[in-house]
Amino acid sequence: MIKIIGICILLLLLVGCRIQGEEGIVIEVNDKTWVAEIADSPAEQQQGLMFRESLPANKGMLFVFNDSEPRTFWMKNTKIPLDMIFIDANWRVVSVVKTATPCISDPCQLYNSTKPAKYVLEVNAGEAVEKGVKVGTRVQTSLKK
C-alpha cells in the first residue's frame, strides 16, 4: 500500500513538473543535482534533445516510460554530446553511457541499457562521471520551484 501511494505521489509530481523557467524535477545523485525537463509522451520522447545547440550545466531531460524494459537510444539530430543514465523502477542506476556522440546523418550508433529501465536521464557529456554516477547508485527526485 505504501509503495502504491509513493508511486501515485511521484506520478503527480512528474505530471506537474514541466520545465518553465527554473521549475522542473530535481534529480539528485550523491548529493549532487540536475534540474530536468520531463519527456513522458511519445512525441516528447521522440524529440528529446534533438536540434538543441547547447544544454546548460546541471540541466537535463528525464524520459519517463510506462514500463521497465531494456531501452535503446540514439543521437539522431542531437548536436551536443550527452551522458545517458538508465534508471530502473526502484530509482537505481542500471546502466550508464558516457559521452554519446552527436549524429547528424544515418546510420547513427545505438546506445542500449544493460538491464530494464523505466527512466533515462540525459545530461551533458562528462557530468555522470563528475557526479560519481555508477551502476547501483540511488537516484532521488523532488520538485524545483
Average pLDDT over residues 82-106: 96
pLDDT of residue 121 exceeding 70? yes
pLDDT at 8: 36
pLDDT of residue 105 exceeding 90? no
pLDDT at 23: 55
pLDDT at 143: 64
Model confidence, pTM: 0.83
Contact 103, 77 (CB under 8 A): yes
Architecture in CATH of 2-144: Sandwich (2.60)
pLDDT of residue 111 exceeding 80? yes
pLDDT digits (tens, 9 = 90+) for 44-89: 999 999 999 999 999 999 999 999 999 999 999 999 999 999 999 9
* Among 8, 120, 144, 136, CA closest to 64: 120
What count of other Cβ atoms lies within 10 Å of the Cβ of residue 19?
15
pLDDT digits (tens, 9 = 90+) for 2-42: 444 343 334 334 443 443 344 579 999 999 999 999 999 99
User: Which residues lie across from 9 on neighbouring strands?
Assistant: none
The ranges assigned to domains in the chain are: 2-144
Average pLDDT over residues 111-122: 97
**Can you tell me the distance from the alpha carbon of 38 to that of 34, in angstroms, rounded to the nearest whole number?**
12
Give 17's Cβ-side CA count (13 Å radius).
25
**Can you tell me the distance from the alpha carbon of 123 to that of 76, in angstroms, rounded to the nearest whole number?**
16
